Amino acid sequence: MENRRLLRSKIQLLFTLHFKGYLRDIRLFKAFLDVPLKEFIPSEIQNQVRFYSDAPVLFYLDEENPESLRTISAPHMISIMLQELVLNENDDLLILGAKSGYIAVLAHKLAPKGKIVILEANSKIAKITAENLKNQNLNGEIEVIVKNPLEGFPELSPWQKILVTGAITQERIFPLLEQLNSEGVLFAPIGKNYLQTYTQIIRFENEFYGKKYLQVRFTPLMTQIELDELKLITDIEELEAYTVSHKTDKPKNAFHSGNININYTSNVLEEVRLEPYSKKNSNEINDESIYDAIKDHMKHTIDTKSKNENRKYLENINTSLEQIKDLIGRLKRGIKETAAADPSSVEKKIELIEKYQLEVKSVQNRLKKDIP
């Protein structure tokens, strides 16, 4: 169980991601709650890490080779990755790049009945990841293999889902697309040099539909042989804010290579009409689902026989919610002070803020009733 400071930081981060539109799936909200980030960071560098800020987190650094620095992606980026994979509970998932195992464990919470395989080029990072998974009692459900990630894993294909955690060129994507099943989804940062676009590609039979999301900047993806192992560097820096809406007025275009033609469209899910992808999201985050997620998290995280422990835990969560309410209130007052500039825009912002205020208050009131 995480200490009071980490718990409060986590709660505040999750609500912030939700309010900003990044975090939309209650399953992932609860996964973030359940999985302690600190346990995926080596103890010798934990004092260099700021936990539960919305920024990449260092987990690997070879002092003799500074270019080997690796980070776990920022929480908003992880939210985008896992949600745009549209994971279902039975999905088999191939992850290219280990990221210390943290993203894989979150994904396992969304697809608990599927198999997850991680391909990692660096044997040291693969070992760290395997140890992290063992500590989470998941060494049998998530497998780590030292292998060139760019090749994918055709031996175990077809895959329902493939997640690429490092920059990759358009040409390198095609062998991976061939490893998807007939309704599979791939999510990857595609592009050359220092600018890529995070892209969702859905396979429907032998047709491929893509949607471009946000532009990102990655350090170059390197696959050179050094000391008999492939080294993969995949650090990222976001350039543009993520757009929650799935609808734009941009025209459709296509990219063709060999037998694969990717049709880029702004309404990919509507275009292919796959179920359950095209259904209204049944995992929506609201006050009721947040309350249930927190209660379920408590049930599996702390000793429910200890009333004192339960009470302290609930008080910590409620303190975090009180701080969030204060923050929202200050934001609302600040917007009202600028109302003269664009009254119509301010009215919409106030309406949204009031919605979040009610949501936080509802969760808080329900939790207060549970404090003995």
Q: How confident is the model at residue 232 (pLDDT cuts 50, 70, 90)?
A: very low
110 falls in which pLDDT band (50, 70, 90)? Answer: very high
The reported pLDDT for the residue numbered 200 is 93
Closest by CA to 285, choosing from 15, 10, 11, is: 15
Average pLDDT, the chain: 82
What is the distance, to the nearest Å, from the Cα of residue 228 to the centroid of all Cα atoms in its chain? 32
Going from N- to C-terminal start, the domains of the chain cover 35-272, 287-368
Kindly tell me if the per-residue pLDDT of 105 is higher than 50: yes
Question: What percentage of the chain carries pLDDT values higher than 70?
Answer: 81
Instruction: Look at strands 196-204 and 207-218 and give their pairing.
Output: antiparallel
Identify the CATH number of the domain defined by range 35-272.
3.40.50.150
Whether pLDDT at 279 is above 70:
no
More confident residue, 108 or 212: 108
Q: Model confidence over 324-356: pLDDT tens digits?
A: 988 888 888 887 776 666 677 788 888 889 999
Find residue 118's DSSP bridge partners.
95, 144
Q: Which of 24-33, 170-179, 221-230, 275-284 has the highest mean pLDDT?
A: 24-33
- The stretch 141-145 carries a mean pLDDT of 94
Could you check whether the bond before residue 154 is cis, i.e. omega within 30 degrees of 0?
Answer: no
What is the pLDDT, as a whole number, of residue 84? 92
Distance of CA 315 to the CA centre of its chain: 28
